[in-house]
Amino acid sequence: MLESKIIKLTVRDVRFPTSLEQHGSDAMHTDPDYSVAYVVLETDSDAALKGYGLTFTVGRGTEIVVCAVKALSTLVVGKTLKEIVSDFRGFYRLLSSDGQMRWVGPEKGVIQLATAAILNAVWDLWARVEGKPLWKLLVDMDPAKLISCIDFRYITDALTEQEALDILVKAKKGQKSREEQMLKEGYPAYTTSCAWLGYTDQQLTQLCSEALAQGWTKFKVKVGADLQDDIRRCSLIRKLIGPNNTLMIDANQRWDVNEAITWVTKLAEFHPLWIEEPTCPDDVLGHASISKALAPLGIGVATGEQCHNRVMFKQFLQAAALQFVQIDSCRVGSVNENLAIILMAAKFNVPVCPHAGGVGLCELVQHLILFDYISVSASLNNRMCEYVDHLHEHFKSPTVIRNAAYIPPKDPGYSCEMLEESVQKHHYPEGEVWRAVEQQGKP
């Protein structure tokens, strides 16, 4: 089936009106409608084999991403899966370095989100053809083959191919037992569902108490709009979860560098493990200053959900500007680029704690973090994967959480396939959900 040829790419604008109830709200995104550019690759295979992919976006931005996916589609349609995966590095370059399209990137912003959507669909297709969930495809793959999927251009000063290979070969030891452990216990998660910025104190209290009862021990709170509110909310949640559970705070890029240091210092009494996205996501040296200033308070800096590509992550790592690497399955160039980031994090000995939530981000990124544990880092120390309890019901193979841990998916593929009924209902603007929203006079 590797010979299957991709004969058609469709992409749809699928949005969920999450802003109506303030789900997902933060200091910078006050009314997010969680959305995806949803890609389906059709093949000429007898088995009606398809590959499903997506990238996460927010509301009106989706139509631009859909356009970019269409613009890249000619590079994938007509290729066989074999042609792609036998030189995956070359195919990544073809998409990311196209002579006319790269001007609107390169390897950043909308065009990189579109690249992610397409490549996620290709990886999904490949994993389906191999009959394995994506994490297992990666875990079983020969290290040299894995390395051949990565574009090392611009990162060899931080990580050479040989070093990457050595990391993978070294981590072969104990791989089997780590895989068994994951299948039994799952990968540890934290929840962001309790404390979106637009939630009332009452909602926060209720959701947090429910989460505690379900066994959650690690919680993330949105901060950054108003210091007094932050103090009140952090104090409330710290009281609810007690001194031994873990608290993280997330400012979604709200502050200038010095402001970040002053503000977070005032929240230090609540003992957050990390401050996430304190300032502009491109400001490597700013993050380094914040990291340095907050280290004596025992607070680390986490970032990555809006980090363009492997080159930015390289600089963050080189400058000791982050203490937690937040990979995102849809922001950078799919599995190919995330492999590079995961391996660089291993070289620099910085834990990977993925960003998830949105639509489908949990479904996808669980595969990458399982691979990280089983085949790269071999450690759970200071590591956990984000979980948000929204919109899973729209997926064919939704995430399974047990005892606050991700249970490894079993279905073949990259867990990107959505229920066709959900796609149609939420298709923007003609889906029935959006027609109803419009009739009620909401945005």
Ligand X SMILES: C[C@H](O)[C@@H](O)[C@@H](O)[C@H](O)C(=O)O
355 is an interface residue for ligand X by CB under 6 A: yes
363 is an interface residue for ligand X by CB under 6 A: no
Nearest CA-CA partner of 28 in 389, 235, 279, 219 = 279
Decide which of ligand X, Mg ion, none touches 357; Cβ closer than 5 to 8 Å per partner kind.
Answer: ligand X
CB of 26 to ligand X, least distance (A): 4
Binding segment (CB under 6 A) for ligand X, from list 22-30, 76-84, 127-135, 171-179: 22-30
Angle at the Cα of 153 (from 150 to 154), degrees rounded to 5?
125
User: How many other C-beta atoms can be found within 10 angstroms of the C-beta atom of residue 229?
Assistant: 14
303 is an interface residue for ligand X by CB under 6 A: no
CB of 276 to ligand X, least distance (A): 6
Residue 222 a catalytic site member = yes
Task: Kindly tell me which of 24 and 105 has the beta carbon lying closer to ligand X.
Answer: 24
Site string for ligand X, 227-256 (x = CB under 6 A): -----------------------x-x----
Describe the chain by its helix, strand, coil percentages, rounded to 5: 45, 15, 35
Binding segment (CB under 5 A) for Mg ion, from list 234-242, 270-278, 312-320, 414-422: 270-278
The three-state DSSP-derived secondary structure of 104-144 is HCCCCHHHHHHHHHHHHHHHHHHHHHHCCEHHHHHHHCCHH
Q: With CB under 6 A as the rule, give the number of residues binding ligand X.
A: 13
DSSP E strand stretches across 182-261: 187-195, 218-222, 246-250
Residues 6+ apart with CB under 8 A from 412: 127, 128, 130, 131, 132, 133
Tell me which of 357, 360, 412, 413 binds ligand X, using CB under 6 A: 357
SS3 of 396, please?
Answer: coil
Catalytic residue among 136, 308, 314, 355: 355
d(CA 311, CA 331): 13
151 is an interface residue for Mg ion by CB under 5 A: no
Tell me which of 5, 29, 153, 271 binds ligand X, using CB under 6 A: 29
Q: Is residue 216 within 8 Å of 190, Cβ to Cβ?
A: yes
Dihedral over alpha carbons 333, 427, 23, 135 (to 10 degrees): -40
Tell me which of 250, 283, 328, 337 binds Mg ion, using CB under 5 A: 250
Task: Kindly tell me which of 310 and 355 has the beta carbon lying closer to ligand X.
Answer: 355
Q: Is residue 188 within 8 Å of 351, Cβ to Cβ?
A: no
d(CA 51, CA 69): 15
Decide which of ligand X, Mg ion, none touches 29; Cβ closer than 5 to 8 Å per partner kind.
Answer: ligand X
Task: Kindly tell me which of 116 and 164 has the beta carbon lying closer to Mg ion.
Answer: 116
Interface positions with Mg ion (CB under 5 A): 250, 276
Interface positions with ligand X (CB under 6 A): 24, 26, 29, 32, 58, 192, 250, 252, 305, 355, 357-358, 386
